[in-house]
Structure 1
Amino acid sequence: MQTKGSLVGDLVKGGIAGVAGTWVMGQVTGYMWEHEDPAARQRYEEVTGGKYVPDRTAEKIGQILGLNLSEEQHSMLAQASHWGLGAGVSAAYALLRRRYATADAAQGLLFGLLFWAIVDEGMTPLFGLAEMPQVYPWQAHARGFVGHLVFGVVAETVLDVFDQAS
């Protein structure tokens, strides 16, 4: 693992790793969704009411700032919150990697696991951006779990490639 380099450089690399991880995670979870049991998909739709975490995040930001968002603004803010979270969390992870000398796929798995447990299962319900975990079908948790593991491994791999190129 490369520990030399600028703080800003590591933040940028982490952000790039997060965008890559977010994209790959979307591909994996999208595939899982398309192949999920129709009854579980219907239950998930009933629980969410068709409003997913990025949509609820955009609504909450609009409310806090007193904004009346158009549909286009809402959509843009929802996407920005989704991609920004992935980039931001990975930027923080890149800084943690500077401190700890072990960087490998297992560490990426741990990163993804913690991201899933803390954010998906914990913070989003706590902040009213999702329902409590127990109301979702188990398939939703499995999809999120696998997706975030993939996210962590991809982010770690991208950061490792940056390290090797330095």
Structure 2
Amino acid sequence: MRYRHGYFESMNVGKGMLAGLIAGAAGTYVMTKMQPHIKQWTEEMVGGCGSGGSGESELSGGGESSAPATEQVATAVAEPVVQRELSRAEREFGSNAVHYGFGTVMGGVYGVMAEVAPPITGLVGLPAGALLFAVADEAAVPAAGLSDPPSETPMKTHLHGLVSHLVYGATVEICRKILRPLI
């Protein structure tokens, strides 16, 4: 694969990371704001297909009473530090911190990859969003015991997670592409 003329002279991993971090935060924000609409759309598209689960977002834990994976992580990290059970408001805050922190860091990784291997930015970041969905939601979160295995997860939950991460990937790439020349 050929790179554009003068590419290596303009490559700057630090600037790429900074643009990616900012874009990752923006992507997480847009994804979060779009999730209610995505959930409604996936309910209409899939309906009752794959019934047996809660139909919550891709970050839901195993079953209706389980907390989202982000809340489980926040609780596991914070409770030993503060040596008490977190309040509902603290768990919600922690869940958001984990969600935005992860999305921001993944944006930074994407920004570095965009500097080192520009083809990754193809198709407006959609493949990167799909890859993040597959690795995080379909593999890492279930492997860590933070959600049911993919085989036990309703189809609408998979679709919701995939579409959410496609929104994230596209937003990150659009923002990164705008920000990178300004940094």
Partner of 1:23: 29
Structure with higher Rg: it is 2
Change (3 A) 1:60 1:140: same
The one of 130, 136, 161 aligned to 1:113: 130
Partner of 1:61: 77
**2:74 alignment partner AA:** A
> Please, what TM-score do these two structures have when normalized by structure 2?
0.77
Partner of 1:137: 154
Q: Percent identity?
A: 23
Give runs of aligned pairs for residues 82-161 of structure 1, distance below 5 A: 82-102=99-119, 104-106=121-123, 108-161=125-178
Distance 1:164 1:11 in 2: 13
Structure 1 residues not aligned, in runs of 5+: none
Indicate the RMSD between aligned Cα atoms, in angstroms. 2.7
CA contact (8 A) 1:47 1:135 kept: no
- In the TM superposition, residue 156 of structure 1 has moved relative to its aligned partner by 0.8
CA contact (8 A) 1:105 1:157 kept: no
Deviations 1:59-109 (A, max 9, x none): 222356474223332222111000000000110111111111336442611
- In the TM superposition, residue 55 of structure 1 has moved relative to its aligned partner by 1.4
Q: 129-138 or 64-73, which moves further after superposition?
A: 64-73
Is 2:49 the counterpart of 1:43?
Answer: no
Partner of 2:87: 70
CA contact (8 A) 1:121 1:133 kept: yes
Structure 2 residues not aligned, in runs of 5+: 56-61
Change (3 A) 1:92 1:64: farther
Distance 1:128 1:64 in 2: 19
Higher helix share: 1
Deviations 1:103-141 (A, max 9, x none): 644261111011000001111111122111122210000
Q: Secondary structure of 2:17's match?
A: helix
CA contact (8 A) 2:138 2:150 kept: yes
Matched residues, number? 165
